[in-house]
Each structure stands twice: as structure tokens, then as C-alpha cells.
Amino acid sequence: MVEKRTCDYTGEEIEPGTGIMYVKNDGSVLHFVDSKAEKNYKLGREPRDLEWTEEGRAGKGPAQTQTADDETADEDEELEAETEADEDEDVSAGDEAVDETESDAEDETEDEAEAEQ
């Protein structure tokens, strides 16, 4: 039975009878699915930096891709921020109301003082 190989650069499966076998001077053997993978290896590019390799796709991970849970968490954070902003507005509006009642109280005391004179 023919042995199936995987590309040492991209991680893809190599069809039997295809691909490139690269033998280094130290005797180690590398298998590449195509010349694109071989050339990128020879140029010294890391497969984790390229999105078209399995290692590059795996390197993205859940931190960079949005999932449904992340979207709901983002929405929850936005709602919390909006409610905090609304509460701040209510508090500042309450301060204005207090200021008005204080000024009304001051006006009443001034009116009483004038009435006594």
C-alpha cells in the first residue's frame, strides 16, 4: 500500500506520486505539496505567519475570530456602558433639581426677610 505523506510546510496531505522531496545536506528529508510551499520554506518564511497554511490558520485561534459568545458579550458590554451613561445623566439632572430647590428655598427666605421689615 502506498504511504500517504503530509507537507512539512503547509500540513496538507500529499497525493501519492505527487509533491516534492527535498533532501537537506544533513540528510533530513522534507516533503512539500507544491513548489509554492518549497519556495516559501527556502525563503525562510514561517508557516505560522501565512494564513494559507494549517499552522497559520490554527495560529489565529479564537482570540482573533468572533464567535457568537463573543458577540453577545460585546453587546452586553455596550448595554452596560449605555446604562452607566444614562445613570450619570440622571444623577446630573438630579443635581440640577437640587440646585433649583435650594434656590427656591433661598428665594423664600429672602421673601420672608423682606416681609418682616
How far apart are alpha carbons 92 and 98 in whole angstroms? 10
Other C-beta atoms lying within 10 Å of the C-beta of residue 11: 16
58 or 76, which is more confident? 58
> What residue spans define the domains of the chain?
5-62, 66-117
Secondary-structure percent of the chain, ordered helix, strand, coil, rounded to 5: 60, 10, 30
In this prediction, residue 49 carries a pLDDT of 83
pTM comes to 0.47
Adjacent-strand bridge partners of 36: none
Location of C-alpha cell 440640577: 96
- Residue 2 pLDDT grade (very low, low, confident, very high; cuts 50, 70, 90): confident
What does the alpha-carbon distance between residue 36 and residue 52 come to, in Å, rounded to a whole number?
Answer: 11
8 A C-beta contact, residue 19 and residue 7? yes
Residues of the chain above pLDDT 90, percent: 25
Residue 31 to residue 3: CA distance in whole angstroms: 13
Superfamily of domain 5-62: Ribosomal protein L24 (2.30.170.20)
